[in-house]
Structures are given as structure tokens and as C-alpha cells.
Amino acid sequence: MTSKRCLPILLLLLLLSACQTGSDSTSAEWSRYGGDPTGSKYSPLSQINRSNVDQLEIAWIYRTEDHKPPRGSDIQCNPLVIDGTMYLITAGLKVVALEATTGIEKWKYDPFDGAGASGTNRGLTYFESDQGGRILHVSNTNLLCLDADNGQLITSFGDEGKVDLTKGLGRDVSGMSISATSPGIVYQDLYILGSRVSEGPGPGAPGHIRAFDLKTGDMKWIFHTIPHPGETGYETWPKEAYKTIGGANSWGGFTLDEKTGTVFCGTGSASYDHWGGNRLGDNLFANCILALDAATGQRKWHFQTVHHDIWDYDIPCPPNLVQVKKDGQLIDAIAQPTKMGHLFVLDRNTGDPIFPITEVPVPQSVVPGEETAPTQPFPSPSLRYAQQRLTLDEITTITPEAHDSVTTQLKEMEMLLGEVFLPPGLQPTITLPQFNGGTDWGGASYDPQERLLFVNCSNEAEWISMEPAASQSGMTKYDFGRKIFGGVCSTCHGSRGRLVTPNSPNLSTLQKLGKDTAETHIVRTLTKGKGQMPAFPFLSDLEKSAVASFILDRGRNQHIPAEVINAGQFQEIPWIANGHVPIKTPDGFPVNQRPWGTLTAIDLDAGQIKWQVPLGTYPELEAQGHPPTGTFNMGGSVVTAGGLVFIGASMDERFHAYDKLTGELLWEYQLEAGAYATPATFAIEGQQYIVVAAGGGGKPGTKSGDGYYCFSLAGPDN
């Protein structure tokens, strides 16, 4: 007979068993961006597993009905699931609550009051107050606090429910772009938040990190990512940089070690992205992994992954909190993916490398006024998971014709080829990994049981060249607009007028509006902003009109004198890039060798790749009998105790499940638009679900969609 004393132990064991199998668990939430404070994107659920994943069926589809075809919007949201309710963001940047098991809408909040919007937002933050659940959300320049039960603004927070993010930065940023595309993180009674700021050659806001009181919205601390006099790192900038330079912002989100009260993030480059003659030095704390005291904002340690960045090699995501077994001991660590396809693994408490990191000499810039860093930090070769160079020996061989055509094109353009960190120069220069990575904002998922890290990355080349911003003899209005567009707009919208992200109307739409209406619309949007697109008040009326002329292919015969051009925004930034310019085969495929996109499993104990497989394919090549090629990809993965890695991300618009131990593709589902978002998995009353947004559009440039797809196993007993 079992004693009464043993019954609690047996019940505990049964409960743990249920949690491990997932088959009997009543609920499991997805309550934080990335799944939990550590950013693991891991779920202990295993009802959906290797043996039955091929039986997944659609449980429901929620249509946001506010997308902008053909490519004018996207959805990058990782939805939250708390107490049976799912919270998400639509293609039109509305906040919505759904019944998580049915997809039935409960409430909707529109920050734009019906005016319509599109842009990028990756998620929400939920917290419990003494008066109920709350949702924190950034819209344009405002941090909003909503009642989780009904979507109404909490008027006791900030100014009638809103906090103006342009305030409290220590200098006047009136009219400058400042918002947040990734959610912040809650620590005790604080909300820690980064920002998205301008990266162009015009005036930009600093990317300081701030914490706000959850109840009142008052700012409680600030960490200066561009240091002020007397602060650590001040000597790595010009003396007056803290007054004028922008960027060095944490735009990818945060992770948190609740036990030690340490918040972690990565930061981006200082602006302007591609010329730093006005910010000579290593530029701390740009391009840094930061460990801050979550209660005070004080720096605990930092590690810089790129010195004096001129490539736009931002750290695009927060580090995962992981463990590494070394010499028989478990070490608390962080693992930071990057746009370079470099994984930095550091001691969580000290920032010291767990695997060797070496400062390697790199080529130096020849652009006048620029002084690049003589070396850059490289992790061990076994932790470099993206392609690292392009030479003539590494041109695509998808067909002999493609190989010959690309080789000829590169030679005719006198393209400068070489390794990662080849600096933008005066002649066309290949960048591989390109400006979007490697790995971008989706980051990595982490299995704490196997100590495996799963990270997707793109292997596509782009090219760049630098040209004088000013002119000695003047230029046409069209060419003047092209220069401004390349320097100010191309980071988000592509190059040479190819608008590829959802931050403004695309080129074909503008052209259809007609001569007078189209120019008026463009100038008004540049002046006032629209949706998530900021205003550009530093542009003169002539400069705005020139941008419109370039987009509309006008002004080729209208001459602008040199003295007019040189009196504008380019006095401080004398060299600008021509944009982020794709380079493709005649059939539209990448010019380098396959795979063009990958999913990689990294064994953190060994510090090396366990497996790597192509992520996605091109259907037209698939139809010709080619094996999966991989594609450019955006969005993250989720790993589960069921032995699966779920990820969309690829341009073939499919949702995939891979075996986490082998990389074998076990299941895929053809969506109606690309799933450029991180999935979420949860369980309610014993049923496990997996949900992903299929919003398309965005940087991959495929068609826009408006669907949240939720899957579960068929049948009541599962």
C-alpha cells in the first residue's frame, strides 16, 4: 500500500510527466516575445512530435483584412497567448485579441483611428497590474498601454495612455524618427525599451536604452549608447558626438536573466551607416552586446562585435541565454547570432569568450575622410555559419549560362570581390553576407535539454559603392533625387526606386496616381510621415521634390546649380552609398553558390555546427529537378520537446517542421503568403497548437498577405 506521505511525491511526478509529454497538460502559454525572458523560443510541449507532425491540420485562419497588395504590407508579429487569449498585430498595425482555440475576434484597437497604416512591428508585451492585465505597444513615436480585457487605453499611464518617446533623450530630437519595432521587456515594475531611429545621412536621434515605470509611464533610468563626457566609451568617439550623432540603438529586443537581474541586448551601427568620417573611433556602444543592471541601467559588461561599423552590420536580435558544458561544468552563457553569420558565445556573468575570439586584420577604406578599424573580432571558424566571401571561384553554377553571365557582369562592372568586412569603396564592392544578414531580427531558438542552438541565415550577395554627396558643377533634378534616395531612403526601400518594404506606397502605385497628385503625395509623406514611416523635416522643399522626381522618373533635363545642392543636408556627410543593390543572375537568382539560405543547428558544448540544411527553395528550380536551394529568409524558429523545429521565413512561402537532431524536413505547408514572422506554440485543455503569421511582403519582396494560420492535430484524442 502506498503511504500518504508518498502521495504528494507521486502526484508531482505525474504532473512533471504530463508537462514533458504534453499529451495531458491542460495549458501552456506563450506569454513573452520569444516565448520566455531568456528568448529561448522553446516549448516543453510534445503532443505534436516527430511521429505525428505530418498529421497537422488547419485549426483556424484569422484574416486581418487590412493588408496592402501587391507588396505594400507585411506581418512580423510573434503573437502572445495568455489565459486562452491570443494578442497580435495586424498588417495595418492594429492590436487584436482573439480566442486562441478558435481565432474568433474579441476586440481590436486601431492607433490610427481608421486612417490606415502599414509598417513593421514584431510583437507586444503583456504584464499583470494590480487592476488586471495590460498590453504595452509602440505606435509611431508613442508607447501605449492598453487594458488586456477590452483594448482600451489606460489613461493613468503617461499622458492619457501614451508616452512620447521623443522626450527624455537629453537632446532635442524634434521631427526626427524614433519608434520601436520590437517589444521591450518587463523587469519587476519597469519596462525596458529600445528604439528604431534614422540610419541615413540626415540628423538622427540617439539610440539610448530607457526604462519606464509600468504604472505611470515615467522614465526611471537611461543608458547612453553614445556615451556622455565622463562615461565609459566616451573616448571612442569625437568629443561632441553625443550631441549630434544618431543610432547605436537596440532595435532587436531584449532578454533577461531574472535570477541576477541582468538585461541583455544588441545594438546597431551609428548613423550614417556607410560613412563614419564624422565619428572616427571604435564607437562604443554601437554594435555591442550589452549586459545592464535591469534595476538601474548600469553597465555590467559589453562586447563589441564590429568596430566602427560602415556595413550596417547591426546586432539584429538579443542574445539567447544558454548553458554550455565545458570541462564537465555547466556555464551560464549567452549566444549572440549576427548579420555576419558569426556566433559569439560569452560567459553570461563576465562577458568573457567561452570559445576563442580573434582580432583579424581587415581591408581598409579608401574613401576620403574615412578611417576604418584595422581589425575586427572573429569567432572560431566552427562558429561562422554563413558564407563569408565571394570570389570568381564561388560564382553560381546553377546553370553554365548563369555562371558565365555573372562572371562577365562582375568583370565588366570591375566589381571588387573578397572576404566579409570588405569596406564600401569608390568602385562597386560585393558585400557577403549582405546588409540584411546572415541572421536578421528573427534570431535563434535554443533547446535547453540538448543545448542546441537553431539559427537561420541568408547567403545572398549585394553590392555597394560610395559617391560624392556634393557636386562641383551641379546635376539634374533626377540625379539629385537619386542621391538623396540612396542616402536617406534605400535602407528601408531598396535602391534605384525599387520600393520593397511596406513603409510607403510602392513605385507602381505612385506612378498611377498621376503627375500632380503623385508628387504632392510624396512630398506630403516626406514632410509629415505616414503610418510607421517617419517624417523627414531636415529635407528642404527642393530635396523632397527631387526625391519625387527620381521616383517618378522626371527631371532629367532640369539642372540644379552646385551651390544649391551643397547648401543642403550633405555638408556633414560628403560621401553616400548608392544603396543596397541586389545582384542577380539573368533568371533572378543569387549570383553565389548554393545554399542561398540555411537552417543550422549548433552544438554549444562542442562549439561547432551539428547540422546545416537549405531553408526553402525556388519552386521554378524545384520543378526542374533541383534539390532545395535555400532562399533569402526573414523570421525566427521555435523548437519543442517533441523533437521539432518550426520555421517559415523562406521565400517559397512554406511553413516547415524539421527534426531537431538531424535537420530532416518532416513536414511543410504551402501558405498563401510568406511567413516572415516567428511562430508561437501553446496548449489549451490538452490540445497543442502552433500559429504563425503569413503577411508576406517585407524585405523578401513577395506578395503581401493577411493571415494568421493556426495548426493542430486532427481528432479529439490526439
Range of the domain at 508: 470-572
For 25, the grid coordinates are 497538460
- Show Cβ contacts of residue 131 under 8 Å, excluding neighbours closer than 6 positions: none
Query: Over 60: is that where the pLDDT of 45 sits?
Result: yes
Q: Is residue 397 part of a domain?
A: no
Can you tell me the distance from the alpha carbon of 611 to that of 272, in angstroms, rounded to the nearest whole number?
Answer: 37
Q: Which of 427, 430, 502 is nearest to 467 (CA)?
A: 427
Phi, psi angle pair for 401, to nearest 5°: -65, -40
CB 10 within 8 A of CB 1: no
Q: Is the pLDDT of residue 532 over 60?
A: no
Query: What pLDDT is attached to residue 97?
Result: 98
Q: What is the pLDDT of residue 494?
A: 55
For residue 180, is pLDDT > 80?
Answer: yes
Per-residue model confidence as pLDDT tens digits over 54-94:
999 999 999 999 999 999 899 999 999 999 999 999 999 99
Nearest to 337 by CA among 255, 207, 440: 440
Report the pLDDT averaged over residues 379-401. 97
501 in a structural domain: yes
The 10s digit of each residue's pLDDT in 636-672 is 999 999 999 999 999 999 999 999 999 999 999 999 9
pLDDT at 471: 72
Is there a contact between 362 and 472 (Cβ–Cβ < 8 Å)?
Answer: no
- CATH for 551: 1.10.760.10
The predicted structure's pLDDT at residue 255: 98
Residue among 659, 682, 678, 638 nearest 22 (CA): 682
Tell me: the pLDDT tens digits for 445-475?
Answer: 999 999 999 999 999 999 999 988 877 678 8
> Is residue 491 within 8 Å of residue 312, measured between CB atoms?
yes
Per residue in 150-174, pLDDT (tens digit) is 999 999 999 999 999 999 999 999 8
Q: What is the pLDDT of residue 564?
A: 75
Give how far the C-alpha of residue 523 lies from the chain's centroid of Cα atoms, to the nearest Å: 28
Q: What is the mean pLDDT of residues 549-556?
A: 86
Q: Once rounded to an integer, what is the mean pLDDT over residues 104-133?
A: 95
Question: Rounded CA gap, 317 and 251, in Å?
Answer: 8
Contacts 24+ apart (CB under 8 A), 469-473: 469/201, 469/570, 469/573, 469/574, 469/575, 469/576, 470/562, 470/565, 470/566, 470/570, 470/571, 470/574, 471/562, 471/565, 471/566, 472/562, 473/562
User: Would you say residue 9 has pLDDT above 70?
Assistant: no
**pLDDT in the model for residue 21:** 38
Query: Which H or E run contains 490?
Result: helix 490-493
Taking each helix axis from N to C end, the angle separating 541-551 and 515-528, rounded to the nearest 10 degrees, works out to 130
- Residue 183, number of CB atoms within 10 A of its CB: 28
Return d(Cα 193, Cα 251) in angstroms, integer. 9
Indicate whether 529 pLDDT > 90: no
In a domain, 510, yes or no: yes
Predicted pLDDT of residue 23: 40
* pLDDT at 715 (0 to 100): 65
Q: Is residue 75 part of a domain?
A: no
pLDDT of residue 205: 95
Check residue 566 and give its pLDDT. 67
Neighbours of 125 (CB within 10 A): 25
- At 571 the pLDDT is 62
The DSSP bridge partners found for residue 147 are 134
Mean pLDDT of the chain, nearest integer: 90
Q: What pLDDT, in 10s, does the model give residues 691-711?
A: 999 999 999 999 999 999 999
Helix and strand totals (H; E) in the chain: 10, 46
Q: Is 555 part of a structural domain of the chain? A: yes
> Does residue 508 lie within any of the structural domains?
yes
In Å, what is the CA distance from 655 to each residue of 608, 668, 688?
Answer: 27, 5, 17
540: pLDDT confidence band, cut at 50, 70 and 90? confident
Confidence tier at 527 by pLDDT (50, 70, 90): confident
Least confident of 232-241, 558-567, 654-663, 698-707: 558-567
Number of structural domains the chain divides into: 1
**b/e per residue 531-564 (b: at least 16 CB within 10 A):** bbbbbbbbbeebbbbbbbbbbbebbeeeebeeee
Please report whether residue 229 resides in a domain: no
Quick: pLDDT tens for 275-327: 999 999 999 999 999 999 999 999 999 999 999 999 999 999 999 999 999 99
Confidence of residue 430 (pLDDT cuts 50, 70, 90): very high
CA-only gyration radius of the chain, Å: 25
pLDDT at position 17 is 40
pLDDT in tens, 317-359: 999 999 999 999 999 999 999 999 999 999 999 999 999 999 9
- Work out the average pLDDT over 400-427: 96
**Alpha-helix runs per DSSP H in 557-690:** 562-566, 619-623
The reply to whether 53 falls in a domain is no
Of the candidates 607, 578, 560, the one whose C-alpha atom is nearest the C-alpha of residue 469 is 578
DSSP annotation of 392 reads G
